[in-house]
Structure 1
Amino acid sequence: MSAAETAAETAAETATRRTPGLVPVGETLRSAERGPRQPAADPGTPPARMPWSFWRLLGSELGLTFRRPRNLLMLAALGVVPIVIGVALRVVAAEDGMGGIIEDVAGNSLMLTFVSFSFLVLLFMPVVVSVVAGDSIAGEAGAGTLRYLLAAPSGRTRLLAVKYVNAVVFAYAVTAAVALPALATGLVLFPAGDVTLLSGTTISMGDGLLRIVIAVGYVGAGMAALAAVALAMSTFTEVSIGAIAATIVLIIVCQVLRAIPELGSITPYLLPTRFTNFDAVLRSPIDTAAMGEGLLAFGAYILLFGSIAWARFSGKDITS
């Protein structure tokens, strides 16, 4: 056997000796860039369009998310809460001398949507979003399916983008799961008509519905920012409950910090502080400055934690 043949055989043996189950970063990046070997195409055949593979992967991810019984149960539970709030307020409003929030809701059906957001946006909605976003990468790793996803020519960046877009869609589904039952319950239990805002101005019902749509868009953006945080947490572990718990603990800690007057200087930088800025639509004119600051904060969180998730995931050896 010649020296060249011996060297080739030694290199082949070395290449086959590798850690079982380990997918190095370099290999997955090369496989994502190169993809499976394809026969030469005819010159007249158009190249495969990369966006189509992204949308196919996203469609599959959305299907899995919205068919999962756990996620559907959480959405249903959120939808029940506004109904319970509406019934409770209707019963209490029957008593004389009630004022404040009860009087506002009893006076117009649309106000129940804003009240429901006030109750749920600071904890219950973030918990539901954290469950799905925190499970996105860690859940695949824990189930042993992440390395197979990366073996396909999907690419780490594209897979991470699909996971985040899926979490954003679910975040808006969570927001709609609160707004729609609240609106329906309000229309059934309370009178419909002109709406009196917090500033004392009266607007038409059509204008009130438009403001609900704006509030839904704003709250959904806040949940999308939280999804970026949970996604970043998910890239640091292979146990999804760890990423979910870390995100929820972070939200709770922020709520505690907001309750301490001496720490008021850091309150504007905490994500939950901006969740309640949707009440800017209840003023005339709409407080666009407050909503703009909130959207700017959401964008900053998405950029920061999205970058952390990408840096961690793109440089991580996959062992599951």
Structure 2
Amino acid sequence: MTRRTFRDIHGILLLDKPLGLSSNQALQTARRLVGAAKGGHTGSLDPLATGLLPLCFGEATKLAGWLLGSRKAYEAEVRLGMTTTTADLEGEVVETRPVPVLDDATIEAALAPLRGLIVQIPPAYSAIKQDGVPLYVRARRGEVVDVPAREVDVYRLEVIGREGDTVRLLVECGSGTYVRSLAVDFGAHLGCGAHLTGLRRLWVEPFMAPPMVTLDELRDAAEIGPDQLEAFVMPVDAGLTHIPRVELDPEQTRIFGFGQPVPLGQGAEPGRCAVWGVDGRLMALGEIADDGLLRVLRGLNLPTA
């Protein structure tokens, strides 16, 4: 058996996570296949969920936390008439109720309160930590879990298909939104209960039309060689295309390279930006203050081309 060599690979791979694997299992499998010495992912998907899981390798891992707040879209399959302990297929059935005859107007009335800036109670079986312990660990111990409500943004929520007691929903939302909780609240508004039976993440900002790759495709590429695998890895700056680009002159590059703030002037647009040095190298994720002062949020140590 050939021993795999790990290398300093810097970039982002858009994985189509398969059913049944945790996000970390999917990450470690892809990392070993690619041969990346260091890797991380930007936000977990449950084992029962599939779809886009951006993986960061090398210096791109420094951006993983900043990508977590991105807008996301899902296709969700919801089964009406039954609630479960976990709000999805993994849990035990808590209650079953008959599903009433539903028309489009009734369904829309149940969905309408779930759009916009809403207050949501995450599932007890979730990875949210209290005192350092994930809630799902406490729930599995049989402890009574008090889940704090949170504000989340649901930008889009609409029916894209329906068959019997199963409804397919398109969900576009902000960070921290639990689609399982949306399913539960949808069923509660209809008066029959519901749980999530399928979930696929379609995109994550800034990857709005993602060229996803499967683990099987990575395995096939691994048989050919490293160059074939690295073709799937996008450059680090692919994760920053949704924010402004700032290019520094030689003196600004020198100052910024020491981690010192650089004055850009009052005309600079405040907010996060991708900072490029005079040598054409991505230096950092930066932030411009209201006074035009550019500071480092996350410095990058990428090799020169």
What's the TM-score bracket when you normalise by the shorter of the two chains? under 0.3
* Structure (1/2) with the larger helix percentage: 1
More strand by share: 2
Task: Report the structure number with the largest CA radius of gyration.
Answer: 1
Q: What is the TM-score of this pair, normalised by structure 1?
A: 0.22
TM-score (norm 2): 0.23
* Structure with bigger RCO (C-alpha 8 Å, 6+ apart): 1
